[in-house]
Amino acid sequence: MKSSPFTLTKQKLSKKAAAAKKARDIAAAKTPKRRARKKENQALGQSSNRDLHHTKSGSVVRVSVKNNRGNFGKGTRNE
């Protein structure tokens, strides 16, 4: 694996804010929709260079990591 030219650091949150974020993240991960998607992804199998993207129609397509995590060129800031 190639090393990244930059290092990612954790968010600098207070203990209270970190606890609240953890609770929100866990709640989001346990929604029925998210659990169904996770189950489907695990059944299909994840590739190291491609992501599984769930479309609005409900189908799943393999797309590049760059496109899937970058919101297909629109960025994730307003998501």
Q: What is the DSSP string of the chain?
A: -PPPSS--------HHHHHHHHHHHHHHHTSHHHHHHHHHHHHH---SSEEEEE-TTS-EEEEEHHHHHTTTTT-STT-
Tell whether 62 and 79 lie within a shared domain: yes
37-64 confidence digits (pLDDT tens): 888 888 888 777 888 888 888 888 888 8
High-pLDDT (> 90) share of the chain, %:
27
Are 52 and 77 in the same domain?
A: yes
> What pTM does this model have?
0.52
Residue at 1 is within a domain = no
Q: Are residues 60 and 40 in the same domain?
A: no
* 53, 40: one domain: no
Residue ranges making up the domain that contains 39: 16-45
In a domain, 8, yes or no: no
